[in-house]
Structure 1
Amino acid sequence: MAEFLLGPRARSAGYRLAGFDEIGSTNSEALAAAAAGDPGGIWFAALKQTAGRGRRGRAWESPSGNLAASLLVIPDADPNILATLGFVAGVAMQNAFAQILPRGAVRIGIDGADALNGAGRVALKWPNDVLADGAKIAGILLEMGKTVDGRHAIVIGIGVNVIAAPTGLPYPATSLRDLGYERRAEDVFEALAEAWVDAFSLWAEGAGIGAILSQWRNSAAGIGAPVAVAQDGVVRRGIFETIDSTGRLVMRDDEGARIVITAGDVHFGATASARS
């Protein structure tokens, strides 16, 4: 039976929690709460999702023992900056892993090549994934709804591979168990909810996005390396330079042209370097 709890900082900040053994989709539950008049600041967490989804409507597998968590927030911020809450979630997830994994398992910065099992590190992949040893261990999905009075309601959904990773994907995936760490989904959630408090406070209704993006860059995967970005059937290749002040990916192509990417599927390494 699920034993989800909020830590002291999350409770002090006024967050609430609804925990489930099994649910269709924590994001759907949060969106429904917004439409029903919930004031926000509530987490929905589950050990198993039966109808989870990822970006672009893709299915997201979440077997029992993994973590599916969604937070409903109703920020008083410029609508144009609400998408940067995905970077807030990435920073919070990175800091949560730093709390629940052994000291030294998490390296900050692109030179941290000696982290997990001596082979890699926990890193943030643009725009919304968390990697461990170069494989996806967590994903983030933002969805927008409306409150009963017409304000923007944002749901930040986070899925973490705690005991198992999906198979048959076009990219590598891993879990905490695969990496040799036995953790409960409830413990991962508590660390995440605590880390969120600090990251969201730093974001400060969008005023602190510069500080959030700075932290995100420090944990970014692939900066300075070849990158390929697929957009609507078109693949752009180059060197991943940075993310800009609004969170867009900036790359340089082979001719030295600067390309700014707002959305797309990102690939690093041999996949990025391949020519079709």
Structure 2
Amino acid sequence: MGFSLSPLAQQNGFRMEAFDTVGSTNAVALERAQAGDPGRLWVVSKKQESGRGRRGRAWATSHGNLAASLLLTGTFELKTAATLGFVAGLSLADALDAVCPQGAVSLGVDGIGSSVSDLRVELKWPNDLLANKAKLAGILLESTHLPDGRFAVVVGIGVNVVAYPEDVPYPATSLKQLGAACDAETLFLALSDAWQENSRIWDEGRGLAEIRKRWLKRAAGIGSEVAVRVDGSVLRGIFETIDEDCRFVIRDNDGERVKIAAGDVHFGAVASASAG
């Protein structure tokens, strides 16, 4: 089975460029934008060799994982475009709900079985997706100005379908590890479909309040202790919510309510071990 777009995505004018192996789907999408592509283009691959994560971190994927980048062009504000990460997270979570089979069993390293029907998918601010508290996917937004005065934004989505990195300072997992019999092509088909509904609700930022409401229903760590690394310093407190602009809101140790626009978030034991 090869990659394909959902019928609804095709009806709405979305296109796709698929690779078996690629350096970076985000880089290809940005190149297409500079070459005059009108947008609504998905660039997808089952292997990414030189991808990028947040803050310039390397993000390579094993063959069989999903790397998908969506190129969009427009005139809306960059601040508004930044909230597309929340649209992407919701769309991926909805896609996983659609394709993960119920009742499949995975045996962990301790020999204990876990059922996919018990899978807990959560969204971790700003742009990660967790499955049973371990990182399953990451999202990276990049943008560029175009010669005609518009700008392009690329929504990059990387999912650990068959393998996950083991040399990272946080728990990670893959769909295979969780017992889900789903391949990259099946997941992308569902993702391209789920994007249609969530982007319709988002409506170039006009529906952000509803996106925020939906995101909070899937949010990881609300009410728990958190440490946020911001520009070399660490803020600690309790994660309360995200505000109307999707900023991270914590109640710090002095009882003050702090709003954070960008930072690395760590919960619980990982907060103590990794963010200090």
Q: TM-score over 0.5 for the alignment?
A: yes
Per-residue Cα deviation, 1:115-167 (whole angstroms, up to 9, x for no partner)? 96576610000000000010100000000012231211000000000000011
Q: Distance in 1 between matches of 2:236 and 2:27?
A: 35
> What one-letter code is carried by the residue in structure 1 that aligns with 2:220?
A
Per-residue Cα deviation, 1:181-233 (whole angstroms, up to 9, x for no partner)? 12110111111110011111111011001111111111000011111101122
1:6 is paired with a residue whose SS is coil
1:246 and 2:245 equivalent? Answer: yes
1:77 and 2:76 equivalent? Answer: yes
Q: Please, what is the CA RMSD of the aligned residues?
A: 1.8
CA contact (8 A) 2:86 2:215 kept: yes
1:263 alignment counterpart? 262
2:239 is paired with a residue whose SS is strand
Structure 2 unaligned spans of 5+: 105-113
Q: Distance in 2 between matches of 1:80 and 1:127?
A: 14
1:199 alignment counterpart? 198
2:169 alignment counterpart? 170
Instruction: Count matched residues.
Output: 266
Q: Distance in 2 between matches of 1:170 and 1:136?
A: 11
The alpha-carbon distance between structure 1 residues 226 and 238, as it changes in their structure 2 partners (threshold 3 A), is same
Q: Scaled by the length of structure 1, what TM-score is found?
A: 0.92
CA contact (8 A) 1:226 1:273 kept: no
> What one-letter code is carried by the residue in structure 1 that aligns with 2:63?
S
Structure 1 residue 273: Cα displacement: 5.2
Q: Distance in 2 between matches of 1:102 and 1:250?
A: 35
The alpha-carbon distance between structure 1 residues 116 and 236, as it changes in their structure 2 partners (threshold 3 A), is farther
Structure 1 unaligned spans of 5+: 106-114
Q: Distance in 2 between matches of 1:273 and 1:148?
A: 46
Per-residue Cα deviation, 1:3-29 (whole angstroms, up to 9, x for no partner)? 100011111111000000001100000
CA contact (8 A) 1:241 1:251 kept: yes
1:58 alignment counterpart? 57
Structure 1 residue 104: Cα displacement: 8.5
Task: Report runs of 4+ in structure 1 exceeding 6 Å deviation.
Answer: none
2:234 alignment counterpart? 235
Structure (1/2) with the larger strand percentage: 2
CA contact (8 A) 1:124 1:219 kept: yes
Q: Distance in 1 between matches of 2:272 and 2:65?
A: 33
Q: Distance in 1 between matches of 2:197 and 2:102?
A: 20
Q: Distance in 1 between matches of 2:115 and 2:268?
A: 19
1:181 alignment counterpart? 180
2:27 alignment counterpart? 28
1:88 and 2:73 equivalent? Answer: no
1:153 alignment counterpart? 152
Per-residue Cα deviation, 1:28-66 (whole angstroms, up to 9, x for no partner)? 000000000000000000010111110011001211100
Q: Percent identity?
A: 53
